[in-house]
Structure 1
Amino acid sequence: MAREIRDTVDSDIILQYQALLDVLETVVTHHDLQSLFRDLSKKLQRVIRFDLISVVLHDPETGMMRILLGKTSIPLKTSVPEYMTVEEAPGGWVWQHQQPLLMDDIENETRFPETVDILRAHGVKTCYVLPLTSSARRLGAFGVGSLRESAYGEADLALLRQVAKQVAIAVDNAINFERARAAERDRARERDRLRVLLDVNNAVVSTLDLRQLLKAIAESLRSFLDNDFTGLALYEPGTAMLRVLAHDFPGHEFDEEGVLVPIENTPGGRAFSSRKPIVMNQAILEQNPDWRNNPSGFIRNLLAQGIKSSCAVPLVSHDRALGILSVASTRDDAFGEGEAELLSQIAGQIAIAVENALAFREIESLKNKLTEEKLYLEEEIQTAYNFEQVIGQSAALTRILRQVETVAPTDSTILILGETGTGKEVIAHSIHSLSERRDRTLVKLNCAAIPTGLLESELFGHEKGAFTGAIAQRIGRFELAHRGTLFLDEVGDIPLDLQPKLLRVLQEQEFERLGSSRTIRVDVRLIAATNSDLAQMVAERKFRSDLFYRLNVFPIQIPPLRERPEDIPLLVRFFAQRFARRMKKRIESIPAEAVAALTEYRWPGNIRELENFIERAVILSKGPELEIPLSELNTSRKLAVPSRAPSESGFATLEDAERDHIIRALKQSNWVIGGQEGAAARLGMKRTTLQSRMRKLGIIRQD
């Protein structure tokens, strides 16, 4: 009999050790709490009778005990809370005190009323709870319950203590494994998020086409978000609308590009106005029926395509809202705070791209406009000053044109000499049009029209802060004329102290801006013009001889109009037709006696005076015949009679005649030089030219 008892005890011990080995195997092979607990319940059931098994873990984030129920043989009559406070849970007491807790008389138990009520409701009579503690931390508690009173003896309790040690190791391993997996998932998601941001950044810097940019962004987002639709809408200035610029919705027949979407009562409009991400799902959509019923129909069309959730984020750059980026999904609740945060980061990059694209579009528009204007002006210049459009057939003009034809293809410096109004600028344009530089710009500067202190800056440019009033960097005329032609009119008015710098540019083709030490090299052809006698100025030490020799490489002397009277009829007809077209008049004939009178007149203002005279004649003409005011011509002829004493030959000198002519014009205009009624206009010359002649002739107002 004793032998049988001993064999029975040995058999029970073997079963218990086998159970421990099974528990150990379960601990080693499981890394998931739920599967661990499930298998553990099955294997323990073979050696220990229980009706309820549970694991209670302490949650550091909430400070509460989390309850996990294993296999139970009794149906649950009441719900078991997922969390309980440390004080209300027996496992909380065990976790705090690190001691086992045996409750073998549940009916009379007065502690832990909430837990005890649940146990009583299910008929549990005995409960044994043990601490789960690893070598590193306190985890929680492990417990079993039975419908029998005093269900567990000392041997059962000893076995359960051994089991609890193994379960603690398994739970610790499972928690660590889950944390490692969560950390790996977070790292993978962060890696994917950074990859998306990098892809977006690469797309932003590689294209200014917003449609191509959106397509690239949509492809990158689909690898990270559960989005089916991606759209870009920009604010339409002057309206309360957003215009859909581009969208990407593969696999769907959806074409809403260019559609206007109201800012009011739309999720995208709310994102634009609030400058915050707006998430939409089915629940939120039910709370905002105005979104579904918006008059634009854009949202209705999206919903008709199966869209169930979306997220719209504003595009903001330099505190200016530009539009919105939207993503949408056919799955409800596809976007949360994490997705909204990522999209906000992407929107920041896209906003820069949008701003750059808009700026580029504006610059491109202005560039095209300037190009068109440049072409127009170049055509106008070619029309007005082309070699073939120089009017005249006289021998004097023909000789000049031959010189122009000879020197134009070269890069030599040219000095055009002649009285005011003889057409020096026209000849300069003709030279440029016939040169190899005709496809580049002809830059002009009248040296007499620029104040002496600013002429250096005008020619060579200046840096910001180079002198008082230099609030920005300025490019000079020599830089503007790089690889082109620079025409300097009234070159005799260049101050002596500036002439060496001009000479250096002509010889070395290099200079420095005012306020800068950096040498700038240019390739410029110079055409200079003057109505002054530079040789006489050199003799009087008013002009540098070395600069004069450098300018005088190929001089062209333009004859005054009085020396080629045979050209006057041609010029009269040319100007009459040009002004008639401009004034939308028809001039069919010019009286012969008028042409003869014009040919006999001396024209001290040369072609410019003739041009202005014919313009007045066209204005006065009522019919098809040009009505020339010969009385004005006779008055001018009388005014041209010298008032000074004649020379020894019996005639007044040309200089005296010019002085008297200018003085009479000044008296008629009450000494007003500029303006339509000023002396310069009466004489048919520029204001600056008249001022230059007055200085040369010593004309000052006598009160």
Structure 2
Amino acid sequence: MSPHDVPTNLGPIQALLGVAESVTADGDPATLLQSVATRLRSAVPFDFLGVLIHDPAAGLMRLTLFVSADPGRVHPCPDTTPLDSPGGLVWQTQEPMLISDLRSETRFPAMQPIWERFGMQSAYYVPLTTARRKLGTIFFAREDAHTHESDELELLRFAARQAAVAIDNALVAADVARLQDELRAERDRLQLLLDVTTAVVAHLDLRGLFRAIASVLRRVVPVEYASLALHDPVRNGWDLHALDFPTGKGGYLRESLHVPFAGAPASLAFTARAPVALTRDELQAMSDHAPVARALVAEGIRHWCCVPILSRDRVLGTVNVGRIADQPFTPVEREWLDRVSGPVGLAVENALAFRQIEELKNKLAAEKHYLEDEIRTEHGFAEIVGASPGLGEVLKQVEVVAPVDTAVLILGETGTGKELVARAIHRLSKRAGRTFVKLNCAAIPTGLLESELFGHEKGAFTGAVARKVGRFELADGGTLFLDEVGDVQPDLQPKLLRVLQEQEFERLGGTRTLRTDVRVIAATNRDLGKMVASGQFRADLFYRLNVFPVRLPALRERLEDIPLLVRYFVAESARKLNRPVRTIPDAAIEKMVKYPWPGNVRELQNFIERCVLLSPGTELRVPANELPDIPPPATSGGVQTLVEAEREHIRAALAAAKGKVGGPGGAAARLGMKRTTLQSKMKKLGVTLDDPPGDNE
């Protein structure tokens, strides 16, 4: 500094030293200016000190710092353009400006109201400039009109130069701090994305995946509630696949919950394809039409945010978070959630693909085992044999109903070939290329029938050591044949009705709803109409199964088919047993035509196989005592019911076997069934060994 730059009297020198000391001390710009103002007032009286910083982005002069002897005199000051204020003009020209009387200043009309509001009558504006940049302007103002002496102006210019360096350094430090904060924030974001990516790689199960992601999110966005909802376009709604709510009451909100699309909070994010934040009041307003919103309010959620999960330009679902604390989600937090949704979308898509592959693999394995069992099972005959009018009518009905997916109920006595007709319907349908799955409802204990139909999860009951695929899941895309459907217990009938109507079910012990596309063909030898009347069978299930009934005639009702069946079974049995039997005496066929065959085609098949086995040469030998002359069951008042006919057939077989139930020549062998099965039917139909044939109770 030259001698001309420094005042010669002691007061200004002390002020200069004080200013230099102030600007070299650490502190923020506001504290610095307060100290400078205090030091300068001892040498140059003024009432206000202010700093106007130029904002290049907005092109405005902003009053950034302001010091007043009376803090109560400080008022908000609007921003001005460089042309509308002396501070802007000084910044542009870099020349100081002294205005001794602001009331008579006419160049800046927009500033007059501001000066009057502050009570300023004179001011001295000095540019704030450093070697790096032009910052703005500093001004010193008084409440009275005043013309400063030259040494006072020089002292103020000196203070301005010192303050400019200090303010510039402070702004640089602030910029550095801001950049450091931004770098730390970006580092945290990258770390979050890395942690999310690690979770994506480590988990293929949706539940485990989301719990890992929720744990990562809570480090950045504190929440009490987190869930993953996936969009179900088939049912037009949301499925809650994962829930992380440690403080929840465990009521309505649960995993595997299905939420209708209309009115759901997640639907807002789905439609907007952007994060949506809701307050408690907004959730309350939605609660009349959205049970999930009502449940969130009941759980105490005060702030809610849904973020859509986008993958390949489609919305897979939403990540939902909620807070019980009254702390709204900030824009930064929404941005964090939105950035996380990208890797979450990839993870969800991978998890869904893995689940689908796993389910298909399990289903294919189950189909393989099932078909292997089918191959090992001997069906007895592979074609429908016969030319009678009754059988011809059945085949016409099969041709009519096979191409459509209508439910079919096949009615007929035991052994009439109900499964064979069901297979014929499947072969002629559009599902012929998929699996034909059968289940005899009477052959499986009641406690296990539900597991056979719908499958079960591991640990669903004692002995459930692994997940089991049920018949409905196994038959997806194909046909399911439910034989003896009349034996389904009443407590299982509502579940069977649901899967028939809605095409959806849950595995035993599971919570996830599964969908299936199955055509159901049912069969029974019982009178379902009477069972409905007696309350043993649900009426709505009966109507659902009985859409297209097909009644198979008993063998005694199509006597003209017996010779054809005999020849067919003789050829099949001779081939299977490696016997030379080729001819059948007419007397043997005539005798078989006269026999009533209580066990129908199945009994005839077993009888022929036994005859082939006992024939020593090429001619079929029929034992004389095997087919006694048994008159057909008498009918009273018209056609017998199936139950009455079955009861009479059993009585006739018992009479022919002279009361012998099991063993060779016993009633069970004549009927083509096991001894235990016959005893079970006798108990069900009320048949005893003392009942004579034809005794209708």
Normalising by the smaller structure, the TM-score range is: 0.5 to 0.7
In the alignment, what sits opposite 1:263?
261
Amino acid at match of 1:347: S
In 2, the alpha carbon distance for the partners of 1:160 and 1:364 equals 81
In the alignment, what sits opposite 1:15?
14
The residue correspondences of 1:150-549 to structure 2 (distance < 5 A) are 150=146, 152-253=148-249, 256-258=253-255, 259-281=257-279, 290-291=285-286, 293-330=287-324, 334-381=328-375
Amino acid at match of 1:20: V
Contact 2:580–2:617 (CA<8 Å) still a contact in 1?
no
Cα distance, 1:173 vs. partner? 0.9
In 1, the alpha carbon distance for the partners of 2:610 and 2:195 equals 83
Could you list the per-position Cα deviations for residues 408-431 of structure 1 after superposition, in whole angstroms to 9, with x for gaps in the alignment?
xxxxxxxxxxxxxxxxxxxxxxxx
Amino acid at match of 1:18: L
In 1, the alpha carbon distance for the partners of 2:608 and 2:118 equals 131
| Greater Cα offset, 304-313 or 179-188 | 304-313
Aligned counterpart in structure 2 of residue 99 of structure 1, from 88, 95, 101: 95
In the alignment, what sits opposite 1:394?
none
In the alignment, what sits opposite 2:478?
none
Could you list the per-position Cα deviations for residues 511-544 of structure 1 after superposition, in whole angstroms to 9, with x for gaps in the alignment?
xxxxxxxxxxxxxxxxxxxxxxxxxxxxxxxxxx
Amino acid at match of 1:363: I
Aligned counterpart in structure 1 of residue 80 of structure 2, from 80, 84, 87: 84
Given the superposition, is the C-alpha separation of residues 263 and 18 from structure 1 closer, same or farther in structure 2, using an over 3 Å criterion? Answer: same
Amino acid at match of 2:180: E
Contact 1:68–1:82 (CA<8 Å) still a contact in 2?
no
Long gaps (5+) in structure 2: 1-6, 380-573, 584-591, 621-648, 655-697
In 1, the alpha carbon distance for the partners of 2:227 and 2:576 equals 75
In the alignment, what sits opposite 1:133?
129
Given the superposition, is the C-alpha separation of residues 364 and 75 from structure 1 closer, same or farther in structure 2, using an over 3 Å criterion? Answer: closer
Could you list the per-position Cα deviations for residues 635-664 of structure 1 after superposition, in whole angstroms to 9, with x for gaps in the alignment?
xxxxxxxxxxxxxxxxxxxxxxxxxxxxxx
Given the superposition, is the C-alpha separation of residues 16 and 356 from structure 1 closer, same or farther in structure 2, using an over 3 Å criterion? Answer: closer
Contact 1:262–1:269 (CA<8 Å) still a contact in 2?
no
Cα distance, 1:591 vs. partner? 8.2
Cα distance, 1:582 vs. partner? 11
Cα distance, 1:192 vs. partner? 0.9
Contact 1:52–1:70 (CA<8 Å) still a contact in 2?
yes
RMSD (CA atoms):
3.8
Contact 1:234–1:322 (CA<8 Å) still a contact in 2?
yes
Amino acid at match of 1:182: R
SS, match of residue 352 in structure 2: helix
SS, match of residue 305 in structure 2: strand
Given the superposition, is the C-alpha separation of residues 82 and 598 from structure 1 closer, same or farther in structure 2, using an over 3 Å criterion? Answer: farther
Given the superposition, is the C-alpha separation of residues 264 and 81 from structure 1 closer, same or farther in structure 2, using an over 3 Å criterion? Answer: farther
SS, match of residue 67 in structure 2: coil
Given the superposition, is the C-alpha separation of residues 245 and 116 from structure 1 closer, same or farther in structure 2, using an over 3 Å criterion? Answer: same
In 1, the alpha carbon distance for the partners of 2:306 and 2:77 equals 38
In the alignment, what sits opposite 1:609?
none
Could you list the per-position Cα deviations for residues 263-283 of structure 1 after superposition, in whole angstroms to 9, with x for gaps in the alignment?
22333111123323223347x
Cα distance, 1:169 vs. partner? 0.6
Contact 1:311–1:335 (CA<8 Å) still a contact in 2?
yes
Amino acid at match of 1:246: A
Contact 1:586–1:624 (CA<8 Å) still a contact in 2?
no
Contact 1:279–1:336 (CA<8 Å) still a contact in 2?
no
In 2, the alpha carbon distance for the partners of 1:227 and 1:563 equals 75
Could you list the per-position Cα deviations for residues 378-430 of structure 1 after superposition, in whole angstroms to 9, with x for gaps in the alignment?
44555669xxxxxxxxxxxxxxxxxxxxxxxxxxxxxxxxxxxxxxxxxxxxx
Cα distance, 1:185 vs. partner? 1.1
Contact 1:23–1:166 (CA<8 Å) still a contact in 2?
no
In 2, the alpha carbon distance for the partners of 1:199 and 1:592 equals 71
| 1:24 paired to 2:23 | yes
Cα distance, 1:59 vs. partner? 0.6
Aligned identity (percent) is 33
Cα distance, 1:51 vs. partner? 1.1
In the alignment, what sits opposite 2:681?
none
Cα distance, 1:69 vs. partner? 4.2
Contact 1:263–1:272 (CA<8 Å) still a contact in 2?
no
Contact 1:263–1:273 (CA<8 Å) still a contact in 2?
no
Given the superposition, is the C-alpha separation of residues 372 and 36 from structure 1 closer, same or farther in structure 2, using an over 3 Å criterion? Answer: same
In the alignment, what sits opposite 2:617?
600
In 1, the alpha carbon distance for the partners of 2:246 and 2:579 equals 80
Long gaps (5+) in structure 1: 1-7, 386-559, 570-575, 604-621, 626-703
Could you list the per-position Cα deviations for residues 424-448 of structure 1 after superposition, in whole angstroms to 9, with x for gaps in the alignment?
xxxxxxxxxxxxxxxxxxxxxxxxx
Amino acid at match of 1:183: L
Contact 1:78–1:118 (CA<8 Å) still a contact in 2?
no
TM-score (norm 1): 0.52
In 1, the alpha carbon distance for the partners of 2:610 and 2:238 equals 72
In 1, the alpha carbon distance for the partners of 2:143 and 2:208 equals 71
In 2, the alpha carbon distance for the partners of 1:112 and 1:196 equals 54
Cα distance, 1:214 vs. partner? 1.3
Amino acid at match of 1:15: Q
Given the superposition, is the C-alpha separation of residues 117 and 380 from structure 1 closer, same or farther in structure 2, using an over 3 Å criterion? Answer: closer
Could you list the per-position Cα deviations for residues 214-238 of structure 1 after superposition, in whole angstroms to 9, with x for gaps in the alignment?
1111121122224343221112343
Amino acid at match of 1:118: I
SS, match of residue 329 in structure 2: coil
Cα distance, 1:103 vs. partner? 0.8
Given the superposition, is the C-alpha separation of residues 295 and 599 from structure 1 closer, same or farther in structure 2, using an over 3 Å criterion? Answer: farther
Cα distance, 1:188 vs. partner? 1.0
Cα distance, 1:339 vs. partner? 3.7
In 1, the alpha carbon distance for the partners of 2:222 and 2:346 equals 25
Amino acid at match of 2:270: F
Given the superposition, is the C-alpha separation of residues 568 and 361 from structure 1 closer, same or farther in structure 2, using an over 3 Å criterion? Answer: farther
Given the superposition, is the C-alpha separation of residues 216 and 174 from structure 1 closer, same or farther in structure 2, using an over 3 Å criterion? Answer: same
In 2, the alpha carbon distance for the partners of 1:592 and 1:384 equals 13
In 1, the alpha carbon distance for the partners of 2:45 and 2:323 equals 52
Given the superposition, is the C-alpha separation of residues 289 and 310 from structure 1 closer, same or farther in structure 2, using an over 3 Å criterion? Answer: closer
Computing the radius of gyration from Cα coordinates, the structure with the larger value is: 1
Amino acid at match of 2:62: R
Given the superposition, is the C-alpha separation of residues 185 and 74 from structure 1 closer, same or farther in structure 2, using an over 3 Å criterion? Answer: same
Contact 1:103–1:128 (CA<8 Å) still a contact in 2?
yes
Contact 1:133–1:140 (CA<8 Å) still a contact in 2?
yes
SS, match of residue 84 in structure 1: coil
Amino acid at match of 1:67: L
SS, match of residue 301 in structure 2: coil
In the alignment, what sits opposite 2:56?
60
In 2, the alpha carbon distance for the partners of 1:178 and 1:216 equals 37
In 2, the alpha carbon distance for the partners of 1:346 and 1:359 equals 20
Cα distance, 1:110 vs. partner? 1.1
SS, match of residue 217 in structure 2: helix
Cα distance, 1:144 vs. partner? 1.1
TM-score (norm 2): 0.52
Cα distance, 1:150 vs. partner? 1.4
Amino acid at match of 1:271: A
SS, match of residue 68 in structure 2: coil
Amino acid at match of 1:62: A
| 1:142 paired to 2:159 | no
Could you list the per-position Cα deviations for residues 595-641 of structure 1 after superposition, in whole angstroms to 9, with x for gaps in the alignment?
499543289xxxxxxxxxxxxxxxxxx9969xxxxxxxxxxxxxxxx
